[in-house]
């Protein structure tokens, strides 16, 4: 896939966006994260993240915490305008601990959204590979939701699910099965194999059956993009609209922007869109 996407605000600075998957993800070419980023470039980078879900930047010499903090500041401003949901704790914090499979995990790829077992899950994540090797995969939950049969999609919109930490089952939260993106208003499926344990207010057998159907859709091959790490690769992704696997790259730097409270897709009738 060699075509580029039109983005005049970036292109006049020698920066281009190249699609990674037919429906989501872009490689950002021509941008050095170690150099100071002008505010307009940062804003367009943030817009690309929200629109495409995941950004890849190659050949980066570090993972600047200042970038994560500036992205968090942009998010904080937008989330403060999203009146349909609870405001997050401000300023948004930046942490450095990725979610990894618990010892003995044998349930296949560790598909998850970071800290979905928290009341305010991780908002966005940044990873940099120090050396080549290993893989990480992403699944677009906006596309997963769109691919659901209409009846299942409507049923999912009425449900909430329990998310629990496999290391500490007491760390748990309840979230809507369909969540509304606070910036775009776009709905996405919000369940994952690693942390979602059951659907609320359903008999156990029905919960298990419906959850299995939703999890299969969440990680269907049509909504998945896989990345093989090269030294200096940086990936930035929106934790609200994508699932990802635990990466097996041998050398990673990680940052996470701690998050916002999921709002149900049915929380309001019209999408809330914040103009940049």
Answer yes or no: is 92 within a domain.
yes
Q: What is the mean pLDDT of residues 208-217?
A: 98
Q: What is the mean pLDDT of residues 51-61?
A: 97
Answer yes or no: is 17 within a domain.
yes
Answer yes or no: is 276 within a domain.
no
- Give how far the C-alpha of residue 27 lies from the chain's centroid of Cα atoms, to the nearest Å: 16
Answer yes or no: is 270 within a domain.
no
Rounded distance between C-alpha atoms, residue 211 and residue 2, angstroms: 37
173-195 pLDDT per residue, tens:
999 999 999 999 999 999 999 99
Q: Containing domain of residue 16, as a range?
A: 8-264
Q: What is the mean pLDDT of residues 82-88?
A: 54
Query: With 70 as the cut, is the pLDDT of residue 13 above it?
Result: no
Averaged confidence pLDDT in the chain? 87
Which residue in this structure is represented by tokens 């006049």?
12
The DSSP letter of residue 183 is T
3 state SS of 27: strand
The DSSP letter of residue 140 is E
Query: With 60 as the cut, is the pLDDT of residue 2 above it?
Result: no
Answer yes or no: is 224 within a domain.
yes
Answer yes or no: is 173 within a domain.
yes
17: phi then psi, degrees, rounded to nearest 5:
-115, 125
Residue 106 has a CB neighbour count (10 Å cut-off) of 5
Answer yes or no: is 3 within a domain.
no
- Number of domains composing the chain: 1
143: phi then psi, degrees, rounded to nearest 5:
-70, -35
Helices 65-79 and 39-52: crossing angle in degrees, nearest 10, is 70
Q: Give yes or no for a contact between 244 and 137, defined as CB atoms under 8 angstroms apart.
A: yes
pLDDT band for position 72 (50/70/90)?
A: confident
Answer yes or no: is 255 within a domain.
yes
From the list 117, 60, 101, 105, the residue with the least C-alpha distance to 244 is 101
Helix%, strand%, coil% for the chain, nearest 5: 25, 25, 50
Q: What is the mean pLDDT of residues 82-90?
A: 53
Q: CA separation (Å) from 216 to 139, 207, 248?
A: 11, 14, 22
Residue 102 has a CB neighbour count (10 Å cut-off) of 12
Name 179's bridge partners.
188, 264
Query: With 70 as the cut, is the pLDDT of residue 83 above it?
Result: no
pLDDT at residue 137, as a whole number: 97
pLDDT at residue 95, as a whole number: 64
Residue 186 maps to which CATH number?
3.60.130.10
Query: With 50 as the cut, is the pLDDT of residue 275 above it?
Result: no
221-272 pLDDT per residue, tens:
999 999 999 999 999 999 999 999 998 777 888 889 888 899 998 744 434 4
Peptide bond into 195 cis (omega under 30): no
Rounded distance between C-alpha atoms, residue 198 and residue 164, angstroms: 9
- Give this prediction's pTM: 0.88
Which residue in this structure is represented by tokens 């919000």?
190
122-144 pLDDT per residue, tens:
899 999 999 999 999 999 999 99
From the list 60, 69, 70, the residue with the least C-alpha distance to 38 is 70
Rounded distance between C-alpha atoms, residue 259 and residue 237, angstroms: 13
202: phi then psi, degrees, rounded to nearest 5:
-130, 150
Name 57's bridge partners.
234
């Amino acid at each position: 896939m060699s075509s580029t996407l039109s983005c005049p605000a970036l292109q006049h600075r020698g920066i281009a966006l190249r699609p990674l998957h037919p429906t989501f993800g872009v490689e950002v070419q021509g941008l050095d994260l170690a150099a100071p980023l002008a505010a307009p470039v940062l804003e367009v980078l943030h817009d690309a993240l929200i629109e495409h879900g995941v950004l890849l930047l190659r050949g980066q010499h570090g993972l600047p915490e200042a970038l994560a903090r500036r992205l968090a500041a942009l998010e904080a401003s937008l989330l403060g305008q999203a009146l349909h949901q609870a405001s997050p704790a401000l300023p948004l914090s930046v942490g450095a601990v990725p979610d990894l499979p618990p010892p003995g995990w044998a349930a296949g790829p560790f598909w998850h959204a970071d800290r979905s077992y928290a009341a305010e899950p991780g908002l966005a994540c940044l990873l940099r590979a120090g050396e080549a090797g290993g893989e990480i995969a992403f699944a677009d939950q906006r596309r997963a939701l769109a691919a659901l049969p209409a009846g299942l999609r409507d049923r999912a919109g009425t449900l909430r699910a329990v998310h629990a930490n496999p290391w500490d089952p007491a760390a748990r939260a309840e979230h809507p099965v369909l969540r509304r993106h606070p910036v775009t208003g776009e709905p996405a499926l919000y369940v994952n194999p690693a942390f979602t344990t059951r659907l609320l207010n359903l008999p156990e057998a029905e919960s298990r059956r419906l959850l299995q159907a939703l999890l299969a859709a969440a990680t269907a091959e049509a909504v998945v993009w896989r990345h093989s790490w090269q030294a200096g690769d940086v990936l930035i992704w929106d934790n609200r609209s994508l699932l990802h696997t635990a990466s097996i790259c041998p050398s990673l730097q990680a940052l996470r922007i701690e998050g916002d409270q999921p709002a149900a897709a049915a929380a309001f009738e019209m999408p809330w869109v914040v103009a940049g």
